[in-house]
Amino acid sequence: MNRIFRYSFLLGLGLSFAACQDLDLPPTDRPTDATFWTQPSDAANVLNSCYAGLYPSEYFFFNEALSDNAYNKSDVDGSNVRNVAEGAYGTNQARITNEWGYHYGGIRACNRLLTNIDKITSLDAGLKARYIAEAQAIRAFHYFQLMTWYGAVPLITTELSVSEANSVTRTPRPEVLDFVLKELDAAAAVLPVNTAYGAEDKGRFTKGGAMALKARVLLYEGDRWADVVAITTQLMSGSMGTYTLFPSYMGIFAPSNENNNEDMLDLQYAFPTRTHSVQRQFIPRTEGKLVTSIAPTQELVNSYLMANGKTINEAGSGYNEATPYQGRDPRFMATLVYDGYTWRRPDNSTIVIRTFPGTGDNSIDRQDASPTGYYSSKYFDPTSDANLNSGLNLILIRYADVLLMHAEAKNELGQFTAADWDNTIGALRRRAGFTDAAALTFPGGDKASLQATIRRERRVELAMEGLRIFDLRRWRTAETVLNGFAHGIKAGDPNVDNGYIRVDQRTFDPARHYLWPIPQRERDINGNLEQNPGW
């Protein structure tokens, strides 16, 4: 993990990424632009700060608790995402306020670089062009996040004065979308392919990473299927870089396999200078020694197929409630921790995790343990320190998602064939470890049945990677799956939900919850920011 690029810098320059207090206000604790932009290293340092502020580990992990995949037990951890999941939030909610400020802080850093980089006359022309492309891609990522959560947002492409920042208006969403797509096209035209970077530059935006992000942006639009197919086809052909599925599903997330060819865009970390420790809040309580704030739900557990490719409720599946974890999709055991799971500790010793009431320190009746009876092992870093500070990279886009996007878009166009299945869903299942022919063979069926299969595959392949909530929102299914109870293991009253314990009641109002409100703090500063409907 000894890489020059891994953000070991800049706090002394005032370029760190705490949530901004105001929209795009210039910081006052940094060297002035009149004296700063003199050396090529100045541009490199500011660009590194842009990468450092790409996305916080807190959002990466706690986004899962906004969905039906996980439950956030804490009222504090994750900027109160529990309140958002329950529909009990308003315009001053911490996560909603902080998300806005975080992304505009990132945009401000990118705008600073793009506005001032021409001042450095000694900067190599090729490197300058690449730096500009990287900043454009990062800025596009921030705007994509903003428009996904808030809809229309102020489109700011230059450095603003205080008075300018306090009077901006919301740009129509189609204009923000058009800007994001054009920025990613411009960046991809300049950026190198992934194999062109040396070890010291791993983690930078690449041509393939920019185009994979563009495919995701278009996927989320819900009506640009042909464009998604065009981009994913190019990515699968190898014309935008060399990307493959890593041979082992579990191995994708191991420290020894960082920067593998499935990783298309990630958050780079390096112990001990840049770390994250959210794993303490989703691994077994005996191992994390904190309140389990991200607890996988029974709903996620139930979404995993049996090894024969059948759903647990399907005739002939072989599912048995007495032994519910046997004979399941291999990704289940590679992702989730359940009652009877053998956990391997960093010293290679093991502990059997027990989660039923009265079975020990990981059981659901322990106040600080998982309330659902499940934990997660994905992104557990056995090389982290005693406080579980980890330098493990967090992957934002991986090649598996390209295959899933391709499958979904082809099916929505009514063009999903057996060959497409074999190259996408079939490939993912083979990599996961399925061997039963019934699970690997194209199931056929109509568009609706294939849609359900592809969506289920997406859920389990990307489980605990923070993407589920975005899928529920773009599919417009949040109003169904996020209204009602989230459940845990079968350890409750058999007359209530067949004994599966209720851990939380969620509410999702389609009239208002598909867009977050503009933070009240921002509207108090700037009266030109109109509020979203229903808020």
Here the tokens at position 172 are 């129509």
Q: Report the b/e string of 433-465 with b at 16+ CB within 10 A.
A: ebeeeebbeeeeeeeeebbebbbbbbbbbbbbb
Query: What pLDDT was estimated at residue 74?
Result: 84
Tokens of residue 455, six digits: 């969506």
Whether 472 and 481 have beta carbons less than 8 Å apart is answered as yes
Which residues have CB under 8 Å from 383's CB, separation 6+?
Answer: 255, 271, 346, 390, 391, 392
Q: Which residue has the tokens 């599966």?
A: 500
Do 434 and 310 touch, CB atoms closer than 8 A?
Answer: no
Whether residue 518 contacts residue 529, with contact meaning beta carbons closer than 8 Å, is answered with yes
Helix or strand run (H / E) with residue 520: helix 520-525
Q: Which residue has the tokens 């499940």?
A: 374
Instruction: Supply the pLDDT for residue 475.
Output: 99
DSSP 8-state symbol, 485? E
How far, CA to CA in Å, does 25 sit from each of 55, 110, 168, 196, 213?
19, 13, 12, 37, 27
Q: The pTM is what? A: 0.95
Residues comprising the chain, all counted:
535
The CA distance from 52 to 274, in Å, is 9
Neighbours of 126 (CB within 10 A): 9
Burial environment of residue 163 by CB neighbours within 10 A (0 to 12, 13 to 18, 19 or more): exposed
pLDDT at 18: 38
Q: With H, G, I as helix, E, B as strand and everything else as coil, classify residue 144.
A: helix
pLDDT tens string 326-337: 999 999 999 999
Please tell me the distance from the alpha carbon of residue 418 to that of residue 412, in angstroms, as a whole number: 15
- Burial of 253 by CB count in 10 Å (0-12 exposed, 13-18 middle, 19+ buried)? buried
- Return the pLDDT at 3: 43
pLDDT at 78: 79
Q: CB-based burial of residue 355 (10 Å sphere; 0-12 exposed, 13-18 middle, 19+ buried)?
A: buried
Phi, psi for 116 (deg, rounded to 5): -110, -10
- The predicted pLDDT at position 12 comes to 29
Helix axes 94-116, 77-85, angle to 10 degrees: 120
Sequential pLDDT tens for the chain (535 residues): 334 354 433 332 333 333 444 455 555 445 567 789 999 999 999 999 999 999 999 999 999 999 999 999 887 777 789 999 999 999 999 999 999 999 999 999 999 999 999 999 999 999 999 999 999 999 999 999 999 999 999 999 999 999 999 999 999 999 999 999 999 999 999 999 999 999 999 999 999 999 999 999 999 999 999 999 999 999 999 999 999 999 999 999 999 999 999 999 999 999 999 999 999 999 999 999 899 999 999 999 999 999 999 999 999 999 999 999 999 999 999 999 999 999 999 999 999 999 999 999 999 999 999 999 999 999 999 999 999 999 999 999 999 999 999 999 999 999 999 999 999 999 999 999 999 999 999 999 999 999 999 999 999 999 999 999 999 999 999 999 999 999 999 999 999 999 999 999 999 999 999 999 999 999 999 999 999 999 9
Cα(173)–Cα(148) distance, integer angstroms: 10
Nearest to 394 by CA among 409, 379, 375: 379
Rounded CA-CA distance 294/64 in Å is 8
Beta-sheet strands, E only, within 430-506: 484-490, 500-506
For the chain, give every domain's residue range: 11-54+77-238+516-525
pLDDT (0 to 100) of residue 118 = 98
Dihedral angle over CA of 332, 338, 339, 341, nearest 10: 70
* Spatial contact of 114 and 136, defined as CB atoms under 8 Å apart: yes
> Which 3 state secondary structure label does DSSP give 174?
helix
Task: Look at domain 11-54+77-238+516-525 and name its CATH class.
Answer: mainly alpha
